[in-house]
């Protein structure tokens, strides 16, 4: 649907009034009406680094979800304020691992005698608290682009990895890239005593996967893959590693959002693609590549509902508040959490 022209005009005017004092970040999964006003687009890690590279921007308006704004606050300078246009824009995956649950898990590993040989590896899609836990216990953060390098590094530091919070990225990377078997992986369920595992299972495992998942990418199924192959002969199925292992195994190509974007840029005219990631991005890719057939992997509609909370009215409200001298919805990470979370992020930046 076309955006309300009055709101478009107000967004334009407020952005112009703020000039270089504001820098607007747009995650790939945002609505078109928001992306239109983004100074830069990207995945969560690229956006946080882009914000840090703009120290003259006092206000970083992060059109994305809460953990991304936290990461931007950790990586940007003290004079920069990070604003999330709707505080209800969380991430269901990040919410699946709380600080209390993860501390309890570490106690379970300690009781099983394996905490000192276990290295935490946390996906970027986690709260600042989880990143700080990771940093405190000698672990690293990873993205979907460098998960393999992060696991290689972690297995040089210790014998086991506790992978948080996305079981699918952890399992897919371990099995596809590291040569581990499905039997080397166990699933730690934070809602069960001892994670639902025996001490023997924990001692035998190489990968302890947190039982978290993305509600968007987790929706794709083997049926979606088989169905699209039957409908579109010759189609290349390209999915994000947050998809289930069976989906990733049945796909032709697997990669991060940045990888998916580059794959389509490099694709031959006339080629056919079924993409398993968030729908705003897939629709934009289809529009950007009219010479190729680009379809969404599933028949059902699959937006990230919390990403979609950031819409043009919320963006206009945030920008107009800044023009009026009010700084709304500032996301701040406390100094102690920031120190340890930064240690984990710095380990990722130092990965070979
Ligand atoms: O699934 C997501 O939210 C992704 C891929 C986020 C990101 O940018 O890393
Ligand atoms: Fe979280 Fe999935 Fe939405 Fe990304 S797409 S913000 S991982 S729920």
Domains present along the chain, CATH in parentheses? 5-91+307-334 (3.40.50.10800), 94-214 (3.40.50.10800), 217-296 (3.40.50.10800)
Asked whether residue 2 carries a pLDDT value surpassing 80, the answer given is no
Which of 26, 30, 66, 214 to probe ligand 2 with, by most ligand atoms within 8 A of CB?
214
**The 59-63 sheet, strands edge to edge:** 40-42, 22-27, 59-63, 81-83
The answer to which of 9-13, 52-56, 116-120 has the lowest mean pLDDT is 52-56
Judged by DSSP in three states, 281 sits in: helix
Ligand nearest to the CA of 46: 1
Q: What is the mean pLDDT of residues 191-200?
A: 98
CA dihedral 221, 222, 227, 229 (to 10 degrees): 120
Is 307's C-beta closer than 6 angstroms to any atom of ligand 2?
yes
- What CA–CA distance (Å, rounded) separates 220 from 213? 12
For 318, other C-beta atoms within 10 Å of its C-beta total 26
Q: What angle do CA 201, 205, 209 make, to 5 degrees?
A: 100
Q: Which of 258, 242, 308, 266 is nearest to 94 (CA)?
A: 242
Q: What is the mean pLDDT of residues 75-97?
A: 96
Q: What is the mean pLDDT of residues 97-116?
A: 98
Q: What is the mean pLDDT of residues 112-135?
A: 98
Is 91's C-beta closer than 6 angstroms to any atom of ligand 2?
yes
The structure tokens listed for 92 are 């269901």
Minimum-distance ligand 2 atom for the alpha carbon of 93: 1
- Please give the mean pLDDT across all residues of the chain: 97
Is 80's C-beta closer than 6 angstroms to any atom of ligand 1?
no
Is 89's C-beta closer than 6 angstroms to any atom of ligand 2?
no
Distance between Cα 278 and ligand 2 center (Å) = 8
- The confidence band for 48, taking pLDDT boundaries of 50, 70 and 90, is confident
Share of the chain above pLDDT 90, in %: 96
The structure tokens listed for 225 are 């893959």
- The confidence band for 71, taking pLDDT boundaries of 50, 70 and 90, is very high
Is 30's C-beta closer than 6 angstroms to any atom of ligand 2?
no
Asked whether residue 301 carries a pLDDT value surpassing 90, the answer given is no
Residue at token pair 């996305």: 166
Looking only at Cα atoms, what is the longest distance across the chain? 63
- What CA–CA distance (Å, rounded) separates 156 from 171? 18
Asked whether residue 138 carries a pLDDT value surpassing 80, the answer given is yes
Is 65's C-beta closer than 6 angstroms to any atom of ligand 2?
yes
CB distance 51 to 73 below 8 Å? no
CB distance 50 to 42 below 8 Å? yes
């Amino acid at each position: 649907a076309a955006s309300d022209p009055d709101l478009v005009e107000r967004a334009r005017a407020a952005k112009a009034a703020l000039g270089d004092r504001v820098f607007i970040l747009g995650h790939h999964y945002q609505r078109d009406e928001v992306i239109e006003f983004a100074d830069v687009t990207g995945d969560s890690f690229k956006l946080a680094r882009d914000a840090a590279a703009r120290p003259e921007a006092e206000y970083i308006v992060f059109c994305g979800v809460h953990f991304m704004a936290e990461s931007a606050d950790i990586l940007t300078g003290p004079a920069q304020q990070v604003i999330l246009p709707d505080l209800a824009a969380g991430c269901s995956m990040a919410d699946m691992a709380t600080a209390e649950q993860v501390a309890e898990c570490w106690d379970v590993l300690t009781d099983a005698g394996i905490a000192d040989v276990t290295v935490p590896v946390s996906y970027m899609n986690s709260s600042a608290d989880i990143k700080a836990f990771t940093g405190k216990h000698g672990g690293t953060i990873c993205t979907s682009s460098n998960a393999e390098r992060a696991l290689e590094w972690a297995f040089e530091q210790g014998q086991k990895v506790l992978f948080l919070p996305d079981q699918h990225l952890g399992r897919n990377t371990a099995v596809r890239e590291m040569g581990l078997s499905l039997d080397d992986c166990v699933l730690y369920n934070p809602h069960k005593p001892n994670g639902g595992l025996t001490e023997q299972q924990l001692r035998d495992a190489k990968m302890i996967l947190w039982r978290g998942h993305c509600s968007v990418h987790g929706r794709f199924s083997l049926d979606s893959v088989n169905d699209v192959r039957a409908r579109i002969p010759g189609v290349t199925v390209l999915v994000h590693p947050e998809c289930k292992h069976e989906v990733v195994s049945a796909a032709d190509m697997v990669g991060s959002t940045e990888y998916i974007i580059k794959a389509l840029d490099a694709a031959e005219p006339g080629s056919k693609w079924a993409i398993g990631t968030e729908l705003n991005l897939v629709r934009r890719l289809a529009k950007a590549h009219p010479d190729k057939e680009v379809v969404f992997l599933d028949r059902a509609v699959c937006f990230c509902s919390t990403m979609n909370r950031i819409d043009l009215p919320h963006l206009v409200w945030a920008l107009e508040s800044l023009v009026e001298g009010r700084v709304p919805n500032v996301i701040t990470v406390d100094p102690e959490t920031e120190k340890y979370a930064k240690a984990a992020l710095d380990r990722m930046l130092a990965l070979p």
